[in-house]
Every structure is written in C-alpha cells, then in structure tokens.
Amino acid sequence: MDIVLQQLVNGLTLGSVYGLIAIGYTMVYGIIGMINFAHGDVYMVSSYITAIAIALISALLTFLGFESFLVVIIGTLFLTIVVTGAYGWVIERVAYRPLRNSSRLAVLISAIGMSLILQNYVQLSQGANQQGVPTMLTGALRFHVGDGFVQITYMKVFILIAAFAGMGILTYVIQKTKLGRMCRATQQDRKMASILGIDTDKIISTVFVIGATMAALAGVLITLDYGAFDFYIGFIIGIKAFTAAVLGGIGSLPGAMLGGLILGLSEALFAGLISSDYKDVFSFSLLVLILIIRPSGLLGKPEVEKV
Amino acid sequence: MSNAVVRKTLISLAVAGAATLAQADVVIGVAGPHTGAYAAFGEQLWKGAEKAAQDINAAGGINGEMITLVKADDACEPKQAVSVANRLVDSDGALAVVGHFCSSSSIPASKIYEEAGVIMVTPASTNPTLTDQGLPNVFRVCGRDDQQGDVAASYIVDKLGAKRVAVIHDKDTYGKGLADAMKSTLNAYGVNEVMYEGLTRGEKDFNALITKIRSVDADVVYFGGLHSEAGPLVRQLREQGSKAIFISGDGIVSDEFVSVAGSPEYVDGVLMTFGAPPTSYPSGAKVIKEFRDAGYEPEGYTLYSYTAMQVAVAALANNNLDPIKGAEWLKTHSVDTVMGKKDFDEKGDLTVSDYVMYEWDAQGKYSVVE
Amino acid sequence: MSQSVGINFKKSSIDALIAGFMALILFGPIVGVVLDGYSFNAEFDKVAWMVLVVIIGRFAMSSFFQTEKGIAMAFRYANSNDGATVLPPGHKSKMVWIIPLVIAIGLLVPFIASKYVLTVVILGLIYVLLGLGLNIVVGLAGLLDLGFVGFYAIGAYGLALGYENLGLGFWSMLPIAALMAAIAGAILGFPVLRMHGDYLAIVTLGFGEIIRLVLTNWASFTHGPNGVSAPMPTFFGLEFTRRSRDGSTFHEFFNIPYDSAYRYMFIYIVLFAVVWAVLFIKHRLVKMPIGRAWEALREDEIACRSLGLNHVLVKLSAFMLGASTGGLAGVFFATYQGFVNPSSFTFFESALILAIVVLGGMGSTLGVVIAAFCLTVLPEMLREFAEYRVLMFGILMVVMMIWKPRGIVRVTRTGFAARKGVVK
C-alpha cells in the first residue's frame, strides 16, 4: 500500500515537471502550428543558467558575508527566467521568423538545426562533462502508512507548489488579461487578428518568451531537485514533454498539464509495479492508444475539416 | 544546374581523396569520443596518448622514427566508429590505434583494423565480446567486465555477507555487460538477486525505481553504468531513506560523480571496483608527477591510454614496424609500462586482473578498501 | 518604394546596440561563467569578443538591408512562391545525356577512390535510399513520419538476426527485409492513417522509439545493447574475407592478393544498382495513377475522398513502399558495418532523414540525392573542424532553410498542351 502511494507521489512530481515543459510546446503549436524541437534544449540551457546563477549568487553572498537560501533561490529564479526568456525570443527571431511564410516542414528542420546548435554551443563553452549543483534543501515530510511510510521531500513540495502556481498565473494571463486575449485571437486566426490591429509578430515572440519562461521555471526546479545535468538532457525530457502535450491535446493549456500528469503517473506506476525496462514502451503505447480513440488528444478540439 | 552540382560533388570527392597523400613518420591513431556526451573520457584518452607520444619521441622515437598522432572522433557511435576506422587505416595510414573508448564502437572498428592488419590497443573497452571475437590484432590494457563482476560479487558475498542484492544497469553495452557478469558470479555463489532492472540513460528521475528497491528491501544495490546516472541514483536512494550499500564499477571513476550526486555526503560509503591505483606502480611516479606539474590531474583512463600507447609502440619497435608480426609478438612477450609489466594471453586480454575495491569517503575522494 | 534609398546610420547603430545587448544577456552567463564543480571560472574576454562580433555583424546587416540591393533581396525572401516549375510542353530533358554519364562515373568510383572515400560514398548512397523512401511518404503523400528509422532498424536487424537464427545470408534477406518492413508499415499505418498531420508525426515518432526500446530491452533475442554482428555479402558464394570459414574466398578464387577494399567495392556496386532501380521505379510510379493519387491526397484529402479515392489504401501504399525502401537501406547498413546495435537507430537519425527530404526539396528526386550526399559527406569533410563539426552542421541546417525553404531543387513538371479536337 505504502509503495503504491509513494509511486503516486513520484509520478505526480515528475508529471508536473513534464507539464511545465509541455506548455512551451503546446503554446507554440497553438499559435503557429509548428513543433518547436529546440524547446527541450531551451530547458537544458536554463539548467546551466540555474547552476551559474547559484554559483554567482553564492559567491556574492559569501563575499558580503551572509547566507540565505531564500535570496539564492529568488535570485536564481529571476536570473534564469530573464536569460532563458531572452533565449526564447532570439531563437524565434533568428531561426523561425524568416520562415514565417514557408512550409511547416521547413520550420521543423530549422528547429532541429537550432537544437543541434544549442547543444553544441553549450558543450563548447561549458565542456562536455556532467555538471551538478550543491544540495540546498534537505529533509522530507513522512507519513506512516501501515508498517511502511510515504515520503515527499521538501524540495518536491516546493516543486509541486511552484509548478501549480506557475500554471495558475499563466492561465490567468491567457484567460483574463488583454495580452491573453490577443494571444488567443492570434491563435484562432492570425490573418484576422492582424486585420483587427494586433501585431501578430510581436504576439508570436511573446508566446516564445512565455514558453521559455515556463521551461526556465522547470529548469530551476528540476536542477535544484536532481542536482545533475549535462548538455544532452534536453532531448529525452523534450520528447517526453512533447508526448505529454499531444496526449492532452496539443494547443490546449490545461491539456498540457493533464498530459504531463498522466504521463508522469503512468511512467512511475509502470516502472514501480511492473518493470522499468519497458516503461517508455508503455508510455508510447498509451499515447498511440489514446490517439486512436481520441485523434485530437484528451482535451484537444477535434479538427474541423473544411471544404 | 544539375550538371554543375554533379561536378561540384565530384570535385569535393577528389579533394577528399587528395588528403590521402600527406604521410610521414609512424602514424598512430587515437580513437575515442572527442565530441558528444562522452567527450570528457575522450579527453583523458587523448591527454594520455599525447604525453606518451611526446615522451617516446623525446627519447628518440620508434627506431629513430617519430610518432605522429591522429585524433579520430567516433562520438561513441558505431556508425562513426566504422567511418573513422576506415579513415585511420586508409587515409592516414596508421600502423596502430589506441582506442576506442566505448565497447559498442570498439567492436565494429576492431574488424576493420583486423582486415587492414593494424594493431588495436584499447585502454577502456571492457566488454568481453571484444576479445572473444578471436581477432589476432586486438589487445586491451584494462580488465574485462567479467573479471570486474567477479571481484564485486565475491566482495558482496564474502565481505558484506549480503543476501538481498538489487542489480540495476543502464541498458548499454558497458553497464549491462558489467551487471550481467556480476549477476552470474553472484548466482554461482548461491545468492539470487531480488531485483534486476534497467534504467534509461539520460534521465535523471529514478524515484519510481528507488521506491521499488525500497519495497524489495535490498541490502546492496549494484549498479552497472556511468557516473552520469549513478550520481542522481545514489542521491535519490539516500533521499528516500534507504541505507542500502551502493556498489558500482569503473564507470563512476571521476570527480564529477561527487558534483553530480549533489554533495559529498551522498557518495560517502559508495564502493566501486577499479584497476589497482596507477599511483601504486613505482614505474608511473615520474609520469604522474609530470602530468601534475603541467597542471593536469591524470585521472580515470589517462594512464591507461599512456600504457596502451607504450604497448603499441613496443610491438612496432621490436618488429621493424610490422603490425601483424607485432601483434603475434605481444602474445609471447611482456611490455614494461607506466602501470607495471603487462602480459597478454592468446585473446589479447591481460593475464593478470588487477581489480580491487575502492570506497568513496565523505570528502568526495576514493581510496582502496583494505 | 518611393522613399529615397540611403543608409540611415542612426537606425543601424540602434539595431546594432540592441543586438549587442541581447548578445550580452545570451552569451554572458553561458560563455562567460564556466562551471567548475560548484564554483566557476570567469572568461569575460571571450564574451566581449562575441558581443563585438555580433554588434559589427548586425550593423553591417542593418546597413545592407537599407541599400537598394538589400531591399530587393528582402523583398524576394518575403515572396517565395509555391508549386512546381512548369517546363514548356515538349521539353526534352537533358537527363538522357546526364544519366548515362553519372552511371559511368559512378561505376568508376570504386576503382579510383580510396577505401575511406568509398565507405563515405556507400554511407551517402544508403542515405539516398532512406531519403527516397521517406520522400514517398512525406514528399509525395504528405504524411509526416518522424519514426522512419524504425523501418531502417527492421531491415538492419532483419539481416543480423536472420543470419544468426535462420542462417539467411545477404541475398535472401534483401527481399525478405523489404517485405518485413512493408508489413510493419502496414501494421503501423492501418490504425494511424486516419490521424492528421502532427498527430501522425508523434505516433510515428513513438513507433520508432518503441522499436529501438524493444531492440534494447529484449536482450535474449536481440542481444540488447551489445548488438549483433551481420554477415557480409557474398559473390556467388565467395566470401570477401582473408580466410574463409567455409567455402572459398573471393581473392583465392580469382587468384589475386587479398584487399579488404574488395568487400566495399562489391557493396558499392550492388548498392549503386539498387539505388538506380529504386530511382527508376519511383520515377515511373510518380507518373502512374497511384503516384498522382498520392499527390492529390496531399493537396486536398476531402476533394479526393468525394471523388471516390480510397484514401486509406492510397496512404497505406505510400507508407508500405516507403517502409520497404527503408528496410532495404537497413540491410545495406548492417552489411556495410558488419555489426548493428540499437544506438544507430535513434530519433536523431529520423530527423536526419527528414532533413534530407526537406533540404532536397519535397518530392524532388534529384534534390534528395544531392541532399543525402551533402548531409553525409559534409560531416566527414567538416572533420577538420573537430569539435566545431556538429555546431557548424546545425548552423548550416538553419541557414539552408532560411536561404532555400523549398529545398535545393524544386519539383519540375513538363507542361502539356491540350490536344486538338478533344475539347469542343
């Protein structure tokens, strides 16, 4: 019993992280209909910036002669989000905007090229070795269940709170603010939106920055929790997050979070209760199955076939 | 239009062919992952081989001929390994090759070296299949995974007296080979593992797997794989409150293991098998000092690479630069290297296995377990 | 465009400063602060150089796009037109001369090229096959397939495992692998073909990953990550080895000294013939009703269905044909390498094949051939740049797409004139 509960907790935290990264895929897809393959690598860049920010701020604090976990974490979040957002903006400007009127496949190839560029740029400047950040928050909440226990580390609690807070803020921005309305208008009909006086290029840039920001949030959280990363981590988590986005219905914000949670839970439960060898086979099979039953994902709107 | 393109392609091919002409001295290839995820190991191979070549050249070269090294990058991909191997034997005219690093690259490349009659000495590929293929030209100056697995298994049974062993591997040639070798020796001792599973390389979240380890109540976790996964694994194991002893192989021999694990306290007590410390050979003291004076810490496979170079050079030097004769010669003669006297058996493996158990401490350093 | 053309240096300077500021944010942390354990080394001089280069580059670019030439260039990029180039009716293709010439030169290659060049060319031809296969699926039928590597793996493992378990050699596996891949294509295609564009993409991506994961995990059959060795092709039963285990070897039979290059020469010649056969079949298919149906379905599915086209069968045929070509390429890859393991069949490989199709120009055969050679020969030529190799490869991919988003070679069609007397 305690084991099943523990696996649920494991799956929930993993899934919330997938969900955060999936938002980047789903928003970009919704607005310009492209799969941004470089998004996983934007997350990777944010991991590096997290470690760099921690190193810089810690050095500064030691120089000033005091120590504070809160200052380090807020400073790191701020720095990482700003710099990663800048990466999102520049990537869109350099690699995707010139291709605005080309076929979607051309943009896809450009995205794959961008992903290679980011990986190798980071490898060349930071070295190919494994990197880590020091452990900052230890300890865990433990609940006794029967003769076993279920535990959730403070770091995981922090991840869950931050992930859902990030999601909440984003949902508010998209649903209630003027910017959100402009985003949704552009998503529905780009040409019409521009006729109504929305600078769609600017909105698309904004969406890329928002996507990168969410990836940055995920980057800070995961890097603090697992402590380990290298220039290649973006690939696997990118594919997983993309799967999550499609599972939930690509283009739908709550769908991305739901897809992430389902993917995380199914992975943890399958790995924990059956076999971790075939857990990825299981998640991909689940995806295929869901898409066969619901061809637009769980929360996606079915595509209207226009004549 | 199409005519021009065809012409351009042909010209570029001709240019590639012309590169064949430049040749001088004795060419030795250093093949390994100089780019990609394992570039850090590729650097160790290169530093060791480069230093060895410098030292040998300074001492008069091979029978008066100077050594020229060629860096060959395979990025640990079999496809690229075949390509660079052909390039080394063909365009560069290498007589011997130090490398490759990954077993999955060494195995396909070894066939090309055999066809071309080139000596291959690998400093790091420990998978048994490499020498079990029966190729006459393949040698290794490191141990075999089955030898390493033996040492770990007997330690687990004899010294630790553990009964509940969980075996984890990273589903790769090296990691799985090591885990399988350990498992079969363990079973021969009459201990059956309580769990045998693989994790996916490149992932960092192993909580589901660890909860499972907790549920089978393992005393010992044996991991076949590299430090990139071992770090998060051992950290998450401790975070979930497991006190199981963590044992791994030579894939975690790197200072990065500590930084990846998040803090030295997590690696405290981790055991690993690795060749007897290079520093334990008096013959290596001078080289190690020179490395350190140059500001480079010869960790991991650096000295193995140096040794591999010495072995290849000895074979060539004693046989008038004939690699085929040199390969035969190595099987009956021993070579003095920075890591002691090395003898090879009929397959090209070392006759003496020198694996010992090391333990990591709370300062993030490792030392031999007495 | 009535305004006078003159370079507004103030605008250029502002552009350059903004670019410099962005470069500082981007390069500052990643390049300037190199992590070393938990501490770091500062390398700000490198950042300064990079920012300087960006500022100068942006200034030059901004100024250039204000000149007459620059405006014309920007205008041309903003208006790339669709469709195929239509040649005048009765156009006589120069290909009649070029094809025999290319065949003749191609047949000479193994005798003049060194072994290394030969292996690179073989790899190039394998990618030509893969590109041609995917071109049917993506270029002609318009089905985005991100898991093409799965069929490639089926072919390669088919040869290796077929030899190990059933004793089947290269020649018998060549058709069997094509058939196996086609069947796999049908099994995958049947349920998923009713999905649209990008959903199809992710399902095929999942399929490719599943194949690779099964190959990795099913160790008792596939030997997992250790891989399986694959047999070499034989020349009427003669082996291309130094010493033969059974039967005689090629060099003994013809009484010539042993040379390992003979094996590659032979693979090359067989592969060359297969590539031409596939090229020919594809060339004919495009002109046949089925080929027209693929393209029609790509352009407008609803119209096709209302005209009574069985869209599932048409899509399935494209999928199966593409898959079987991938399977063929897999057999050649396995025999060329003499060894297969799952690490050769990652998603990156699928992306590379897709890049060949898109770079070449969707649906264009010549383009695919050129792009396949570019993408395989280029990384080998870039070896001189050592660690900058893959970075440059990525940059070239992006630049190529911006420069020629429709690919290197555009699809051309011979126009036709209405026959007299048909239309009244």
The pLDDT of residue C80: 53
Tokens 């040869």, residue located: C159
Averaged pLDDT of chain A: 85
Architecture of domain B20-142+301-338: 3-Layer(aba) Sandwich (3.40)
Inter-chain CB proximity A277 and B171 less than 8 Å = yes
Mean pLDDT value of segment A139-155 = 79
Q: Enumerate residues 246 to 305 of chain C having a beta carbon within 8 A of any beta carbon in chain B.
A: 260
Position A296 in a domain: no
Query: Which sequence spans correspond to the domains of chain C?
Result: 9-76, 93-411
Most C-contacting residue of B34, B82, B256 (CB-CB within 10 A), to test interface: B82
Q: How far apart are CA A90 and CA C93, in angstroms?
A: 45
For residue C336, the chain B residues in CB contact (below 8 A) are: 82
Residues whose CB falls within 8 Å of the CB of residue C329, separated by 6 or more in sequence, listed in order: C126, C127, C129, C130, C133, C152, C155
Check CB contact under 8 Å for B260 and A267. no
Instruction: Say if residues C360 and C367 touch (Cβ distance below 8 Å).
Output: yes
* Cα–Cα distance, C227 to C223 (Å, whole number): 6
Q: What is the pLDDT of residues A203-213, one digit of tens each?
A: 889 989 988 99
Looking up tokens 């004769």 gives: B325
| Per-residue pLDDT reduced to its tens digit, B63-75 | 888 888 988 888 8
Query: φ and ψ at B21, to 5 degrees?
Result: -65, -40
More confident residue, B285 or C156: C156
- In whole angstroms, what is the distance from residue B43 CA to residue B49 CA? 10
Structure tokens, C278: 């596939």
Distance from the A132 Cα atom to the nearest Cα atom in chain B, whole angstroms: 4
Report yes or no: A43 at the B interface, CB cutoff 8 Å.
no
Helix axes C115-134, C95-112, angle to 10 degrees: 140
Q: Which of B9, B20, B116 sits opposite C373 (nearest CB)?
A: B9
Q: How far is CA C223 from CA B39, B176, C97, C230, in A?
A: 26, 11, 49, 13
DSSP H helical segments within chain B, as ranges? 2-18, 39-58, 78-90, 103-116, 129-132, 145-154, 173-188, 207-216, 227-239, 256-261, 264-267, 285-293, 302-317, 323-330
A247 lies in some domain: no
Classify residue B317 by its DSSP letter: H
| pLDDT of res. C132 | 92
pLDDT for residue B351 is more than 60: yes
Those chains having 3 or more beta-carbon pairs within 8 angstroms of chain B are: A, C
- A57 in contact with B, Cβ within 8 Å: no
Task: Give the range with max mean pLDDT: A71-85, A100-114, B34-48, C49-63.
Answer: A71-85
Chains that touch A (3 or more CB pairs under 8 A): B, C
Residues on chain B touching C390 (C-beta within 8 angstroms):
35
Residue C289's identity, in one-letter code, is P
Domain C93-411 has CATH 3.40.50: no
- Checking phi first, is residue B35 left (phi over 0); if not, alpha (psi -120 to 50) or beta? beta
**Residues of C whose CB is below 8 A from B34:** 386-387
Say if residue B238's pLDDT is above 90: no
Contact list, A7 vs chain B (CB under 8 Å): 208, 211
Residue B114, pLDDT > 80, answer yes
Provide the residue range defining the domain that includes A158.
24-238
Complex ipTM tops 0.85:
no
Q: Which chains touch C (3 or more CB pairs under 8 A)?
A: A, B
Domains B20-142+301-338 and B146-276+355-368 share a fold: yes
- Confirm whether A248 is domain-assigned: no
The reported pLDDT for the residue numbered A47 is 92
- Inspect the interface and report whether the beta carbons of A236 and B200 lie closer than 8 Å: yes
**Has residue B8 got a pLDDT over 50?**
no
Q: What is the pLDDT along chain C (424 residues), one digit of tens a residue?
A: 444 556 777 888 888 888 888 888 888 888 888 877 777 788 888 888 888 888 888 888 888 877 777 777 776 665 555 556 677 776 666 667 778 888 888 888 778 777 788 888 888 999 999 999 999 888 888 888 888 999 999 999 999 999 888 888 888 888 999 999 999 999 888 877 777 667 788 888 888 888 988 888 888 888 888 788 888 777 776 777 666 555 667 766 776 766 667 778 888 889 999 999 998 898 888 888 888 888 888 888 888 888 888 888 888 998 899 999 999 999 999 988 888 888 888 888 888 888 888 888 777 888 888 888 888 877 777 766 666 777 877 888 788 788 777 777 777 776 666 666 655 4
Percent above pLDDT 90 for chain A: 12
- The pLDDT, as a whole number, for residue C420 is 67
Give yes or no for A51 touching C (CB within 8 A). Answer: yes
Overall domain count for chain A: 1
Question: Do B198 and C387 count as a contact with CB atoms less than 8 A apart?
Answer: no
Chain C residues 353-372 with a CB less than 8 Å from chain B: 366, 370
Structure tokens at C328: 């063929």
Query: How buried is A82 (Cβ within 10 angstroms: 0-12 exposed, 13-18 middle, 19+ buried)?
Result: middle
Distance from the Cα of residue B155 to its chain's centroid? 22
Q: Scanning every residue of chain C, which has its alpha carbon at the shortest distance from the alpha carbon of B256? A: C37
Please give the pLDDT value at position C274.
92
Task: Give contacts of C370 with chain B, Cβ < 8 Å.
Answer: 5, 9
Q: Using the beta-carbon criterion (under 8 Å), do C366 and B86 form an inter-chain contact? A: no
What average pLDDT does the structure give for chain B? Answer: 83
Question: Residue B354 corresponds to which amino acid?
Answer: D
Q: What is the pTM of this model?
A: 0.83
Q: Which two tokens stand for residue C251?
A: 């060099």
For B293-316, what is each residue's pLDDT tens digit? 888 888 778 888 999 999 999 988
For residue C79, the model assigns a pLDDT of 55
What's the CA gap between A182 and A176, in Å, rounded? 11
| CATH value of B146-276+355-368 in 3.40.50.300, 2.40.50.90, 3.30.360.10, 3.40.50.2300 | 3.40.50.2300
Place of tokens 């204000």: C66
C335 touches chain B (CB under 8 A): no
CB pair distance less than 8 Å for C199 and A246:
yes
Distances (CA, A) of C322 to A157, B175, C38, C131, C140: 49, 36, 50, 9, 10
Q: What is the DSSP letter of B62?
A: B
Q: Which chain A residues contact residue B38 at CB under 8 A? A: 128
- In the predicted model, is pLDDT for residue B12 greater than 60? no
What average pLDDT does the segment B4-14 reach? 43
- Among A180-189, A271-280, C249-258, where is mean pLDDT lowest? C249-258
Candidates B239, B253, B254, B257, partner chain A, best to mutate (most A CBs within 10 A)? B239
Contact A284 C40 (CB under 8 A): no
C 395-414 near A (Cβ less than 8 A) = 395-398, 401-402, 405-406
Dihedral angle, C-alpha A54, A60, A65, A68, nearest 10 °:
-30
What average pLDDT does the segment B19-40 reach?
72
Interchain CB contact of C126 with B (< 8 Å): no
Size of interface A-B (CB pairs under 8 A): 121
Does the beta-carbon distance from A109 to C401 stay under 8 Å? yes
Residue of chain B with shortest Cα separation from A6: B211
- CA distance to A84, A172, B14, B144, C48, per residue, from A88 (Å): 6, 21, 42, 47, 22
Say whether C405 and A297 touch across the interface (CB within 8 A).
Answer: no
Give A89→chain B minimum CA distance, Å: 27
What gap in Å lies between CA B104 and CA B115, rounded to an integer? 18
Q: From CA C40, how far away is CA C47, in angstroms rounded?
A: 15
Extents of the domains making up chain B: 20-142+301-338, 146-276+355-368
In chain A, residues 137-176 whose CB comes closer than 8 Å to chain C: none
Whether A279 maps to a domain, the answer reads no
